[in-house]
Amino acid sequence: MLDLLAQPGIQSHDQWQVQIQAQTQQRADVYVFAVGLCDEEIRSALFTPVRDLPHSLLTIPILAKPDQRVDLPNNKEIPMTDYSPKPEHKFTFGLWTVGSRGADPFGSATREYRTPAELVYLLGEVGAYGVNFHDNDLIPIDATPAEAEDIKKEFRKALTDTGLVVPMATTNLFSDPIFKDGAFTSNDPRVRVYALQKMMNAIDLGVEFGAKIYVFWGGREGTETDSSKSAIESIKRSREALNFLCDYTLEKRYDLKFALEAKPNEPRADIYNPTTGHMLAFISTLDHPEMVGVNPEVAHEHMVGINFMHGVAQAWEAGKLFHIDLNDQYPGRYDQDLRFGSRDIKAAFFLVKFLEDVGYTGSRHFDAHAYRTEDFDGVKDFARGCMRTYLILKEKAAQFNADKEIQSLLAEIHADDGKMNPYFGAYTPQKAALLKAHVFDRSAIARRGLRYERLDQLTIDLLLGVRG
């Protein structure tokens, strides 16, 4: 056989290759880019020839579908066009997100109820990595112990069947009427201790399913009228509760960190610790600040019109970015929880670029829900869309970092001849004296154009797909 193959001009298909080709082509159109074979030869092997690869990739219809895989030659010049989610992307959704039934303050549910296990299968189908839950997303607040066991069993089976994991869990301290005036900050002491009891049970539940991050979102921790509560007392009550729960977690030896999520308003007129920055300051006052970080949410900061990425960067720089809630939001409106990247593409781009550039390794959690107009196919479109947009923006970020014109412009913008170096760094009296004596040519410095218009237009061109 080896002798046969060694003969010049021998051409013999291995029958296994032929079988594999036949099986593949029952399920897929196969496009072949080959140097050294003419189109006729490729067609005679039942493949479709491709000549101009980047152009052809844009015209092959199958690439428009999010869950299709495309194998490309190892050519760095060719953009990545495979936007299918993989476990390493760490895309997660809450049971409350894909399980949202579309109710709003003006209308009731438009989608039927799905069990937690059914939602896990849905997430498995769209390619998510993990699923997160509030205690009562999984176990209704009034469930009997036997009912709870049945639900957990079914949920665990769905996790095993799909391979999904539970990286984060959280507690619902906002839906039940008992929390109408808050949980840890309620004026009723019975509510404050009930909240602690509910938290401990919910932490146990999260840990049982493997959660390593525990999110605290105090949606009801606020006021409609400031005549009702002391803002200082509320901060103290929140601190005491957090300290209690840190000690509970430490005593139980749980491998768990807390992530505090800020929101300025809704459902309360005003919520305490309204931004990620407030949360960071609050964390530094806790007994165990090392086990507490933040869970910033795009929508919660865009509601008040502030730059979300800046808050995320501050959290990251402080070593406190434990988790992140991705979605979208028009500023100045009620909490919309829109599909990630569907409103402000530029802000989403700089956020994804930030997370990828710094090497954030936590979950990319989508805390959003499908439009009320959708059925469950639309919910899948929504979930796929969140992940696809993230991956497209990730690719755009890599393009930005590799774009020669953008990078040389940045190098020009950040140019530093080192002449000011003697004045930077720690204070010394000598340095201060030297600096006081330095003469600056203010107008010459101010005259320099910074070329940010050009840089931003290059970014826009890149995002709009007309670069490279």
State the catalytic residues.
134, 137
Footprint of ligand NOJ on residues 368-427 (CB under 6 A)?
Answer: none
- Per-residue binding letters, 217-256, with ligand NOJ (x by CB under 6 A): x---------------------------------------
**292 strand-pairing partners:** 258
Answer with the entry of Mg ion, ligand NOJ, none that 344 interacts with (C-beta below 5 to 8 A by kind). none
Q: Identify which of 239, 260, 258 has the alpha carbon closest to the alpha carbon of residue 249.
A: 258
The HSE-up count of residue 283 (CA atoms within 13 Å, CB side) is 26
170 contributes a contact to ligand NOJ by CB under 6 A:
yes
- Cα of 429 vs its chain's centroid, Å: 47
Q: Of 325 and 328, which CB lies nearer to Mg ion in the complex structure? A: 325
Q: Of 297 and 403, which CB lies nearer to ligand NOJ in the complex structure? A: 297
Q: How far is the CB of 275 from ligand NOJ (least distance, A)?
A: 14
Q: How far is the CB of 237 from Mg ion (least distance, A)?
A: 22
261 contributes a contact to ligand NOJ by CB under 6 A:
yes
Q: Identify which of 286, 281, 264, 418 has the alpha carbon closest to the alpha carbon of residue 333.
A: 264
- Per-residue binding letters, 20-59, with ligand NOJ (x by CB under 6 A): ----------------------------------------
Residue 333 class from Cβ within 10 Å (0-12 exposed, 13-18 middle, 19+ buried)? exposed
137 contributes a contact to Mg ion by CB under 5 A:
no
168 contributes a contact to ligand NOJ by CB under 6 A:
no
Q: Which residues contact 412 (CB under 8 A, 6 or more apart)?
A: 451
Q: Of 268 and 353, which CB lies nearer to ligand NOJ in the complex structure? A: 268
328 contributes a contact to ligand NOJ by CB under 6 A:
no
**364 strand-pairing partners:** 91
299 contributes a contact to Mg ion by CB under 5 A:
yes
Q: What angle do CA 73, 126, 368 make, to 5 degrees?
A: 115
- Checking DSSP bridges between strand 270-271 and strand 222-223, what pairing results, if any? antiparallel
Total of residues contacting ligand NOJ (CB under 6 A): 8
Choose, by CB under 6 A, the member of 183, 205, 211, 215 that binds ligand NOJ: 215
- Per-residue binding letters, 83-122, with ligand NOJ (x by CB under 6 A): ----------------------------------------
CA 242 to CA 235: how far, in whole Å? 11
Q: Which amino acid appears at position 375 of this protein?
A: D
Structural contact between residues 164 and 129, judged by C-beta atoms closer than 8 angstroms: yes
Q: Of 220 and 396, which CB lies nearer to ligand NOJ in the complex structure? A: 220
Choose, by CB under 6 A, the member of 135, 367, 381, 403 that binds ligand NOJ: 367
**260 strand-pairing partners:** 216, 294
Answer with the entry of ligand NOJ, Mg ion, none that 170 interacts with (C-beta below 5 to 8 A by kind). ligand NOJ
The b-or-e profile of 117-150 (16+ CB within 10 A means b, else e) is bebbebbbebbbbbbbbbbbbbbeeeeeeeeeee
325 contributes a contact to Mg ion by CB under 5 A:
yes
CA 294 to CA 276: how far, in whole Å? 7
Choose, by CB under 5 A, the member of 297, 328, 344, 403 that binds Mg ion: 297
Q: Which residues bind ligand NOJ (CB under 6 A)?
A: 134, 170, 215, 217, 261, 297, 325, 367
The binding site for Mg ion (CB under 5 A) comprises: 297, 299, 325, 335, 337, 367
